[in-house]
A and B are shown apart, each in its own frame.
Chain A
């Protein structure tokens, strides 16, 4: 039985280098996963606005599959099931990055689509009436305005994806939860260690919010 009276934070301090190693992987997977996810999301979001029925259908199918299944199942599937059909083993970190990428990509796609659609049609008409091509109108007029509107929901998604990396412990990614579990398995100090882990997550998510708020403020000035 865990001792409920003696809380000793020195256990958390001693384990900190180890926990930070886990946090490092949490950050790496989040950053790469979101970079790729943003790329997928922008393309898919525009695909959702495409007149081309095939593009629209494929993108919509992808988004529905991702939104309709748990990320835990997606991660397990990529790590354990995908290698069976492609015949190549995927290491757990790569599988983790893929899982975060395709998962966040689907949600980011909807953010991108919604932001682009929210821009007044008059903006396109003004651009086109000046002789700009559809592409120029998108790049110089629609995207900059849509991007500004994307920032708050993107921040939200970034935080969700960062927290989602915690489920990657089931595919043995050496991220923060897994490292915490390993420490607790040795010292049985679940209260101190899991509290420390929670605080580390909080520091990381607060960092994301701060960065995004700064970007938003910068864009607001212009």
Chain B
């Protein structure tokens, strides 16, 4: 198991957002997390690379316990790529510089090697011709593909996606999802918070339905979408499809 989450609790002040999450994710698994707004999906995802500190419980990533103060969190984060809803590209750096920054500064890769590697990744997401452009000049879909390439440049074992297509115009969603499908096919371990039920159904190995800070139901996509057991899952899916 590459990700182990044991009785994870997370509070913001007096507001308890995660109320005991247990979840194991295997290598190469693609897990899609769905659920209503405010149910704690983003918070859960952000606990997996310690962007939020953990109130109690355990998160173990590839054998490293994130709650152990002796763990080198920066080193673990290099193994866990993250893609944000709002892209969060570095606006003062070109597309290629966005991709090469972390390998050069963190992995101490040579500038030349990082560039070469970066160009290959941009090819992979179909943006090699944008290497020297600044992010401001890209469409949302292009920005998100750069963000994916940037995360991949660290050669992570796990990729986290927090609603990667929610900020995109509908006609740009497809190009991002197609890059993600390629990744899944190549065997990347992925945890994807998404409202794209089609994607979850087609690419997901497992779907987790979260509500009110707990995992209400989980299972294979067919089961969750065609034969949900929990009443809340059913009502959520009814709303999504209505």
Type the 1/0 row for B71-86, where 1 means its CB is closer than 8 Å to any CB of A.
0001101101110101
CB pair A130 B78 closer than 8 Å: yes
Contact residue range for chain B?
20 to 34
- The answer on a CB contact under 8 Å between A131 and B88 is no
| Nearest CB of A to B101, in Å | 6
Q: Which residues of B contact A148 (CB under 8 A)?
A: 92
Which of the segments A40-48, A109-117, A136-144, A155-163 contacts the partner chain?
A136-144
B105 adjacent to A129 (CB under 8 Å): no
Q: How many residues of A contact B (CB 8 A)?
A: 18
**Residues A125 and B77 in contact, CB atoms below 8 Å apart:** no
Of the candidates A123, A126, A129, the one having the most CB atoms from chain B within 10 angstroms of its own CB is A129
Could you show 18 A-B contacts with beta carbons less than 8 Å apart?
Answer: A122-B88, A125-B51, A128-B74, A129-B49, A130-B77, A130-B102, A130-B150, A131-B78, A132-B74, A132-B105, A136-B105, A140-B101, A140-B105, A141-B101, A145-B91, A145-B92, A148-B92, A222-B92
Q: Does A195 contact B (CB under 8 A)?
A: no
Interface residues of B (CB under 8 A from A): 49, 51, 74-75, 77-78, 80-82, 84, 86, 88-92, 101-102, 105-106, 147, 150-151, 154
B90 touches A130 (CB 8 A): no
* Known contacts A125-B51, A126-B84; is-contact A131 B92 (Cβ 8 Å): no
Q: A126-B90, A140-B101, A222-B92 are in contact. Are A131 and B84 (CB under 8 A)?
A: no
Taken together as a complex, chains A and B put the C-alpha atoms of A159 and B24 apart, in Å, by 61
User: Given the complex of chains A and B, what is the CA–CA distance between A129 and B49 in angstroms?
Assistant: 7
Give the residue of A122, A128, A132 whose beta carbon is less than 8 angstroms from that of B86: A122
B88 touches A128 (CB 8 A): no
Inter-subunit contact B102/A131 (CB<8 Å): yes
B77 with A128: CB separation less than 8 A:
yes
Q: Tell me if B80 and A129 are in contact (CB < 8 A).
A: yes
CA distance A123 to B91 in the complex (A): 9
Closest A residue to B94 using CB positions: A222
Given that A122-B84, A122-B86, A136-B105 are known contacts, is A129 also in contact with B77, CB under 8 Å in the complex? yes
Are the C-beta atoms of A129 and B92 separated by less than 8 Å?
Answer: no
17 more CB-based (< 8 A) A-B contacts, given A126-B90, A131-B74: A122-B84, A122-B86, A122-B88, A125-B84, A126-B88, A128-B77, A130-B77, A130-B81, A130-B102, A130-B150, A131-B77, A131-B106, A131-B154, A132-B74, A133-B74, A144-B92, A145-B92
- The answer for the CA separation of A92 and B84 in the assembled complex, in Å, is 56
Whether A130 and B151, one on each chain, are in contact in the complex, defined by CB atoms closer than 8 angstroms, is yes
- Bound together, the chains give a CA A126 to CA B81 distance in angstroms of 10
The docked-state distance in angstroms from the alpha carbon of A173 to that of B225 is 81
Q: Which residues of A contact B78 (CB under 8 A)?
A: 130-131
By a CB distance below 8 angstroms, the chain B residues around A14 are none
**Neighbour of B102 across the interface among A120, A125, A132, CB < 8 A:** A132
Closest 5 CB pairs of A and B: A131-B78, A130-B102, A126-B88, A122-B88, A129-B82
